[in-house]
């Protein structure tokens, strides 16, 4: 009997560990482990600090003042770049951060629906279109225009058809030139300007902007260096935002 009592806890522990391993394995099958770990960090850090804010948002709803239209590129997270808390920004992300022109028809308009909700439902005060360096969607369009042997778009080529929205901006630059990377970067910035023009084709945006109730902005983010540029629509130039703070950050960042 004493021998049995000594081995029982070990057997129980092994069974418990095995059960936990099985639970984790089953959990990995239904949800990515990386996201579970991130959620656990959220519960142990930010959520307790901002729990009251989450409760208020749940009770009273959201009332962000900014609609940010950004790219779905995983390297460009608006909430991270602008240190935004929950409920501060209404973020719309798509391939190449494009705003289409106003086209009321029977097609599916996910981006336009989100714009309408933000402006007419949430009554945001600002719309920011933020492009970024090394955009894959812009690069794909540049390569498509540069290669004379590129096959025609197939009916199921959703990306190809979507990035055709870049064509108006591309026409302003002229034919793609070498080095293609530089032309693509110019196109990425020009497309921000075109998206602002497209946004102004929405009747309610044009009306609200003319009445001073809504402001439109263009921005551009450098992935590698972290610099942020804002569009001066009067001059058509992009100017660096918080240049001194950016310089200090680069000076403080460790280099390996």
Domain ranges of the chain: 63-252
What residue has token string 């629509």? 233
Give the mean model confidence (pLDDT) for residues 157-179. 92
**pLDDT over 90 (residue 28):** no
- Digit-coded pLDDT (tens) for 52-111: 999 999 999 999 999 999 999 999 999 999 999 999 999 999 999 999 999 999 999 999
- Digit-coded pLDDT (tens) for 198-251: 999 999 999 999 999 999 999 999 999 999 999 999 999 999 999 999 999 998
Identify any residues that bridge with 132 across adjacent strands, giving them in sequence order: 221
Helix, strand, or coil here: 23? helix
| pLDDT at residue 146, as a whole number | 87
The whole-angstrom separation of Cα 204 and Cα 207 is 5
Let me know: does 126 contact 68? Beta carbons within 8 Å: no
| pLDDT at residue 120, as a whole number | 98
What residue has token string 């089953």? 26
Q: Which sign does the torsion angle of CA 252, 253, 254, 256 carry?
A: negative
| pLDDT at residue 154, as a whole number | 72
**pLDDT over 90 (residue 150):** no
**Considering only the top CATH level, what class is 63-252?**
alpha beta
**pLDDT over 80 (residue 4):** no
Please calculate the CA angle 140-144-148 and round it to the nearest 5 degrees.
160
The whole-angstrom separation of Cα 250 and Cα 52 is 35
Residue 132 — very low, low, confident or very high, per pLDDT cuts 50/70/90? very high
Give the mean model confidence (pLDDT) for residues 164-192. 95
């Amino acid at each position: 009997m004493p021998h049995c009592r000594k081995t029982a806890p070990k057997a129980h522990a092994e069974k418990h560990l095995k059960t936990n391993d099985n639970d984790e394995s089953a959990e990995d099958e239904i949800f990515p482990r990386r996201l579970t770990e991130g959620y656990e960090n959220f519960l142990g850090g930010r959520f307790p600090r901002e729990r009251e804010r989450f409760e208020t948002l749940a009770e009273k709803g959201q009332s962000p003042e900014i609609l940010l239209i950004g790219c779905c590129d995983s390297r460009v997270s608006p909430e991270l770049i602008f240190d935004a808390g929950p409920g501060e920004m209404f973020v719309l992300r798509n391939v190449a951060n494009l705003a289409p022109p106003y086209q009321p028809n029977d097609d599916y308009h996910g981006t336009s629906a989100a714009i309408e909700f933000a402006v007419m439902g949430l009554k945001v005060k600002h719309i920011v279109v933020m492009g970024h360096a090394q955009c894959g969607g812009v690069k794909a369009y540049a390569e498509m225009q540069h290669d004379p042997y590129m096959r025609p778009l197939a009916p199921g080529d959703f990306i190809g058809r979507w990035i055709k929205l870049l064509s108006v901006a591309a026409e302003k630059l002229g034919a793609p030139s070498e080095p293609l990377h530089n032309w693509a970067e110019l196109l990425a910035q020009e497309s921000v300007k075109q998206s602002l023009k497209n946004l102004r084709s929405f009747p309610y945006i044009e009306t609200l902007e003319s009445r001073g109730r809504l402001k439109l902005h263009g921005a551009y983010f450098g992935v590698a260096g972290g610099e942020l540029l804002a569009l001066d629509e009067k001059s058509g130039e992009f100017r660096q935002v918080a240049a001194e703070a950016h310089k200090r950050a680069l000076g403080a960042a460790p280099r390996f």
